[in-house]
A and B are shown apart, each in its own frame.
Chain A
Amino acid sequence: EVQLVESGGGLVQPGGALRLSCSASGFTVSAHYMTWVRQPPGKGLECVSVIYSDGSTYHADSVKGRFTVSRDTSKNILYLQMESLRAEDTAVYYCARGQTWGVGWFDPWGQGTLVIVSS
Chain B
Amino acid sequence: DIQMTQSPSSLSASVGDRVTITCQASQDISNYLNWYQQKPGKAPKLLIYDASNLETGVPSRFSGSGSGTDFTFTVSSLQPEDIGTYYCQHYDDFPTFGGGTKVEIK
Contacts and interface: CB of A to CB of B under 8 A. Distances in A.
Interface of A: 35, 37, 44-47, 50, 58, 60-61, 94, 96, 98, 102-107, 109-112
Given A44-B87, A45-B87, A105 B46 contact: yes
A106 B87 contact: no
Q: Is the interface of B mostly helix, strand, loop or mixed?
A: loop
User: Closest 10 A-B residue pairs measured CB to CB?
Assistant: A103-B91, A109-B43, A105-B49, A107-B46, A45-B97, A105-B34, A47-B95, A44-B100, A44-B99, A105-B46
Nearest to A61: B1
Nearest to B6: A44
Contacts of B46: 105-107
Contacts of A105: 34, 46, 49-50, 89, 91
B34 A46 contact: no
Interface of B: 1, 32, 34, 36, 38, 43-46, 49-50, 55, 87, 89, 91, 94-100
Given A44-B87, A45-B87, A106 B34 contact: yes
A50 B95 contact: yes
Contacts of A111: 43
B7 to A, nearest CB: 13
26 contacts: A37-B44, A44-B98, A44-B99, A44-B100, A45-B89, A45-B97, A46-B96, A46-B97, A47-B94, A47-B95, A47-B96, A47-B97, A50-B95, A94-B44, A98-B91, A105-B46, A105-B50, A105-B89, A105-B91, A106-B44, A106-B46, A106-B89, A107-B55, A109-B43, A109-B44, A111-B43
Given A35-B95, A37-B97, A45-B87, 5 more contacts: A45-B38, A47-B96, A94-B44, A103-B91, A106-B89
Of the candidates B32, B38, B44, B45, the one having the most CB atoms from chain A within 10 angstroms of its own CB is: B44
Nearest to A104: B91
A112 B43 contact: yes
Contacts of B100: 44-45
Nearest to B85: A44
A111 B94 CA distance: 23
